[in-house]
Structure 1
Amino acid sequence: MAQIRNLLAACAVFFGAALSASAAPQLVMVERDGCHWCEAWNEVIAPIYPKTDAGAFAPLLRADLYEEPPEGVRFDRPVSFTPTFILVDGGRELGRIEGYPGEEFFWVLLEKLLTDTTSYEAGS
């Protein structure tokens, strides 16, 4: 009986963690091969993004323009430009940044998107 109880408790912890992880904010980068602006973002921002507060709060998830959105993710409208950065939480779109306006503007737009739509606090 104790083994069954332990197994059930372990399953509850595992599935609870999986559910809460899928409900955490993520930044979906929709890109395509040959996109000059995607390459620029990948060169300048991609190496540092996971090391930032924003990257820790909303980890990056990549998607191809010509494929369906990642499993469990629904976009409010089709993606027309690459790169497009779509902030999702629990698979639901919260907002987006269309295009890559350069490093400085990207961080400003991302911070605004995060603070306007989530519990993210800049500089936390």
Structure 2
Amino acid sequence: MILRLPTFFKAVIGALVVVSGLSGLVRNAHAAELIMYEQDGCPACDLWKKEVGKIYPLTDEARVLPLRMVNIHGPQPEDLEFLGRNRFTPYFVVIEDGRKIGHIYGYNDEAAFYGLLGELIERVNVGKSGSLRTSPDKG
């Protein structure tokens, strides 16, 4: 049996295929990322989510380092395997082009977090061509 879809449905399905394909390109457009390793029941993770997590996507920092959260008890994303497994949470890692730029262990308060993150952002500089360039990991 041949399934014949109306033209409208063909267009919708085609658009969904294009959008799903573009989502991978969007992630690749941000060569630098902030990875947050977390786990359920982590008080410091919950505090970070309450104080920072809700507003982080709206910050200038998020434009430079979009956030990706990874549960330490879930599967390790393939592109993060080079970081190894981590059991301490929260653990924040700045990566770019498959390299670790730096990290932050734990969370105490918003001011301390943004201060440490600012130091990592200084290592991620926007070049004249618009591509992100970094200095080597010092920690």
TM-score by length of 2: 0.66
- Indicate the percent of aligned positions where both proteins have the same amino acid: 32
What is the RMSD of the two structures over their aligned residues, measured on CA atoms?
A: 2.5
For 1:97, which of 84, 99, 104 is the aligned residue? 104
Bigger radius of gyration, 1 or 2? 2
For 1:36, which of 43, 54, 59 is the aligned residue? 43
Give the letter for the 2:125 counterpart: S
CA distance in 2, matches of 1:63, 1:91: 16
Count of aligned positions: 106
Q: Which moved more, 1:53-62 or 1:85-94?
A: 85-94
- After superposing on structure 2, the runs of 4+ consecutive aligned residues of structure 1 that deviate more than 6 Å are none
1:25 equivalent in alignment to 2:32: yes
Superposition pairs of residues 51-70 of structure 1, within 5 angstroms: 51-70=58-77
Q: Which has the higher contact order (CA 8 A, sep 6+)?
A: 1
Measured against aligned partners, the alpha-carbon deviations of 1:48-102 in whole angstroms (never above 9, x if no partner) come to 1111111111100010112343231234454231000011112322111000021
CA distance in 1, matches of 2:29, 2:91: 21
Give the letter for the 1:21 counterpart: N
Which residue number in structure 2 is paired with residue 9 of structure 1?
Answer: none
Name structure 2 gaps, 5 residues minimum. Answer: 1-20, 127-139
